[in-house]
């Protein structure tokens, strides 16, 4: 029986995939916001931090003047301080939206187990810090909303048996409030975001080439949207706080303050129960569904020349270099089994993975036990031999996380599926063209910016474009290789691109045309 988590993920994927496809059509794969939720979270954080610094210059940390100082910014300095205040608030809201979607998406796409568990679990305290940072900010405005959340948050904290004197005593009436408490709140509103930033830094430590900046197009788009929103609908304070008068209606920020109505409806105990239960559930989620660990990369010291290309390409920093076991002055790759995700990108990077080597048995420097390079070579030869018919023959390399290739197999098209296309050594493409095993080679995989193994499609494309080692060598390969990042939903686009490719090969020949075909599902 399958775990219910698997079904939840399936339903989530059914809902998410069409939305992502739509956004890819509108924004292109490169700038699809759903592929950049992590970097967008960073981006929104920086907007909130930058604008927060400006606001702090004018902010008065006293009960009597906090409200006034913000009103001054909003009314007297609306053109800058007012916009900054609105940006501060709206970017925080945008951040929680990005973070929530990021969490849901990683779950739905199954990117939270195995090696990724560190990032997954380290994200949970970040959620707490994010909410604490934001809630602390709402206190500082010291309006009716601040009064409401000050009373309820103190009641929530007082439920815990940690303080002798109830914190709520600080908010009994106007005379009970002190400036010292206000200074503490201001300090916390700086401290929590700093802790959040540190946590975000830790969160991305287990991945190499972690991106923290969204694409320029997206950054310009979202920041313009936030500025425009700040002008059209500036964030305003509610009536000033007065602890001698009870709060009736509050305009609640439902992104961050959604827990407060629950405190009123359920009581603090149940709310604590809910918060702890949700946090624990997120932490244990990786254990609630089966995760089959892929075989990890294995280094063969006699064939490792210490070039470090695998070290440079590993998306999870699982490879380090040490002194070679027996080649003096050389380095040798070492795989950390706890960090290796089993993608095979390292095998694709290894210069020893070339079929042109004069050896009895093709053994490469770093290889995958489930599909070694020698078996990949045999498979390529076998599939190529089966190609027949008058139409141009094409070998189609795909990946298990991309568009399915089985349905596209025909007499003249043979598909070879890899765990990740990054495992395909470019020399295999040279080998196919040099030995005329096929008229064309098409490579497909995950969408751009959305590789299941993070960097497989990026590195392979850079290898084909001679921007990253190992390069393509033969002219035929350089001219005739076709790359289509169709993604798992892109079967129709892939089929259409394959037809076009076959048609082009048929009509124009293949040897003399300069043609590095590249496409994605957004086209």
User: Which of positions 155-184 make contact with another protein (CB under 8 A)?
Assistant: 155, 158, 164-166, 168-169, 172-173
Block residue for tokens 């939903």: 489
Among 18-26, 357-365, 404-412, 445-453, which window interacts with another protein (CB under 8 A)?
Answer: 18-26
Rule CB under 8 A: say whether 514 interacts with another protein. Answer: no
**What is the CA 55 to chain-centroid distance, rounded?**
31
Min dist. Cβ of residue 193 to another protein (A): 19
User: Which of positions 206-225 make contact with another protein (CB under 8 A)?
Assistant: 221-222, 224-225
Distance separating alpha carbons of residues 263 and 270, to the nearest angstrom? 8
Q: Which is nearer to another protein, 235 or 297 (CB)?
A: 235
| Residue selected from 79, 216, 244, 390 as contacting another protein according to rule CB under 8 A | 244
| Residue selected from 228, 274, 287, 466 as contacting another protein according to rule CB under 8 A | 228
Q: Which is nearer to another protein, 55 or 297 (CB)?
A: 55
Min dist. Cβ of residue 450 to another protein (A): 18
Min dist. Cβ of residue 84 to another protein (A): 16
User: Which of positions 38-77 make contact with another protein (CB under 8 A)?
Assistant: none
Cβ–Cβ under 8 Å, residues 203 and 212: no
Min dist. Cβ of residue 332 to another protein (A): 49
Considering all CA atoms of the chain, what is the largest pairwise distance in Å, rounded to the nearest integer?
A: 92
Distance separating alpha carbons of residues 320 and 342, to the nearest angstrom? 15
Min dist. Cβ of residue 90 to another protein (A): 5
| DSSP letters for 474-523 | SHHHHHHEEEEE--TT-HHHHHHHHHHHHHHHHHH-SSS----EEEETT-
Question: Strands 394-399 and 366-367: what pairing?
Answer: unpaired
Q: Which is nearer to another protein, 158 or 506 (CB)?
A: 158
Closest by Cα among 497, 477, 499, 500 to 486: 497
Which helix (H) or strand (E) segment holds residue 73: the answer is: helix 66-75
Cβ–Cβ under 8 Å, residues 401 and 420: yes
Rule CB under 8 A: say whether 512 interacts with another protein. Answer: no
Distance separating alpha carbons of residues 371 and 375, to the nearest angstrom? 6
Distance separating alpha carbons of residues 485 and 443, to the nearest angstrom? 8
Min dist. Cβ of residue 257 to another protein (A): 9
Among 3-11, 20-28, 390-398, 437-445, which window interacts with another protein (CB under 8 A)?
Answer: 20-28
Rule CB under 8 A: say whether 204 interacts with another protein. Answer: no
Please count the residues of this chain forming the interface with another protein, following the rule CB under 8 A. Answer: 46
Min dist. Cβ of residue 228 to another protein (A): 7
Rule CB under 8 A: say whether 23 interacts with another protein. Answer: yes
Min dist. Cβ of residue 27 to another protein (A): 7
Q: Which is nearer to another protein, 170 or 308 (CB)?
A: 170
The DSSP bridge partners found for residue 441 are 395, 481
Rule CB under 8 A: say whether 261 interacts with another protein. Answer: yes
Q: What is the 3-state secondary structure (H, E, C) of 31-50?
A: HCHHHHHHHHHHHHHHHHHH
| Residue selected from 26, 53, 277, 284 as contacting another protein according to rule CB under 8 A | 26
Min dist. Cβ of residue 296 to another protein (A): 41
Rule CB under 8 A: say whether 252 interacts with another protein. Answer: yes
Distance separating alpha carbons of residues 39 and 64, to the nearest angstrom? 39
| DSSP letters for 119-178 | HHHHHHHHHHHHHHHHHHHHHHT-BHHHHHHHHHHHHHHHTSTT-SS-GGGGGSSGGG--
| Residue selected from 48, 129, 247, 297 as contacting another protein according to rule CB under 8 A | 247
Closest by Cα among 156, 171, 187 to 257: 156
Distance separating alpha carbons of residues 377 and 22, to the nearest angstrom? 38
What does the per-residue mask of binding to another protein show for 106-145, with x meaning CB under 8 A? ----------------------------------------
Block residue for tokens 């960073």: 42
| DSSP letters for 341-379 | ----HHHHH-TT--TTS--SS---SEE-TTS-HHHHHHH
Rule CB under 8 A: say whether 377 interacts with another protein. Answer: no
Distance separating alpha carbons of residues 51 and 85, to the nearest angstrom? 7
| Residue selected from 29, 253, 313, 488 as contacting another protein according to rule CB under 8 A | 253
For 334, the token pair is 């070492």
- Which residues of this chain interact with another protein, rule CB under 8 A? 23, 25-27, 89-90, 93-94, 97, 148, 151, 155, 158, 164-166, 168-169, 172-173, 221-222, 224-226, 228-229, 232-233, 235, 243-255, 260-261, 264
């Amino acid at each position: 029986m399958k775990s219910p988590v698997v079904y939840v993920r399936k339903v989530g994927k059914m809902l998410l995939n069409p939305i992502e496809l739509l956004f890819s059509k509108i924004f292109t794969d490169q700038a699809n916001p759903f592929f950049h939720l992590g970097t967008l979270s960073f981006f929104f954080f920086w907007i909130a931090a930058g604008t927060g610094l400006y606001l702090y210059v004018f902010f008065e940390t006293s009960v009597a003047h906090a409200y006034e100082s913000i009103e001054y910014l909003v009314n007297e300095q609306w053109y800058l301080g007012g916009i900054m205040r609105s940006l501060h608030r709206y970017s925080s809201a945008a951040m929680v939206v990005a973070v929530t979607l990021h969490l849901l998406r990683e779950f739905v796409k199954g990117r939270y187990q195995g090696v990724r568990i560190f990032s997954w679990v380290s994200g949970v305290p970040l959620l707490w810090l994010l909410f604490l940072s934001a809630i602390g900010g709402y206190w500082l405005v010291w309006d009716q909303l601040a009064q409401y959340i000050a009373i309820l948050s103190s009641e929530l904290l007082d439920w815990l048996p940690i303080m002798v004197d109830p914190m709520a005593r600080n908010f009994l009436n106007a005379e009970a409030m002190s400036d010292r408490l206000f200074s503490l709140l201001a300090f916390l509103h700086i401290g929590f975001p700093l802790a959040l930033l540190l946590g975000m830094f830790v969160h991305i430590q287990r991945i190499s080439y972690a991106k923290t900046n969204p694409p320029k197009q997206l950054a310009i788009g979202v920041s313009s949207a936030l500025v425009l929103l700040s002008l059209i609908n500036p964030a305003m304070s509610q009536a000033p706080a007065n602890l001698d008068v009870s709060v009736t209606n509050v305009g609640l920020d439902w992104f961050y303050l959604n827990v407060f109505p629950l405190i009123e409806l359920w009581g603090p105990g149940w709310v604590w129960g809910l918060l702890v239960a949700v946090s624990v559930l997120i932490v244990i989620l990786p254990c609630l569904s089966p995760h089959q660990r892929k075989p990890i990369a294995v280094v063969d010291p006699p064939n490792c020349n210490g070039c470090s290309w695998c070290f440079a390409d590993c998306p999870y920093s699982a490879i380090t270099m040490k002194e070679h076991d027996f080649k003096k002055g050389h380095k040798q790759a070492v795989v950390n089994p706890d960090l290796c995700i089993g993608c095979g990108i390292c095998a694709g990077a290894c210069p020893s993975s070339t079929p042109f080597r004069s050896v009895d048995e093709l053994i490469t420097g770093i290889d995958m036990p489930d599909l070694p390079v020698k078996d990949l070579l045999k498979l390529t030869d076998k599939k190529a031999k089966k190609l027949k018919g008058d139409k141009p023959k094409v070998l189609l390399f795909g990946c298990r996380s991309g568009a399915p290739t089985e349905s596209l197999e025909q007499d003249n098209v043979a598909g070879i599926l890899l765990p990740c296309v990054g495992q395909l050594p470019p020399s295999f493409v040279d080998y196919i063209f040099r030995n005329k095993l096929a008229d064309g080679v098409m490579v497909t995989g995950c969408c751009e910016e959305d590789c299941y193994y993070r960097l497989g499609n990026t590195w392979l494309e850079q290898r084909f474009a001679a921007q990253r080692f190992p390069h393509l060598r033969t002219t035929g390969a350089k001219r005739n290789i076709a790359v289509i990042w169709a993604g798992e939903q892109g079967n129709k686009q892939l089929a259409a691109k394959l037809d076009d490719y076959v048609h082009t090969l048929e009509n124009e020949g293949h040897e003399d045309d300069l043609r590095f075909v590249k496409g994605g599902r957004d086209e």
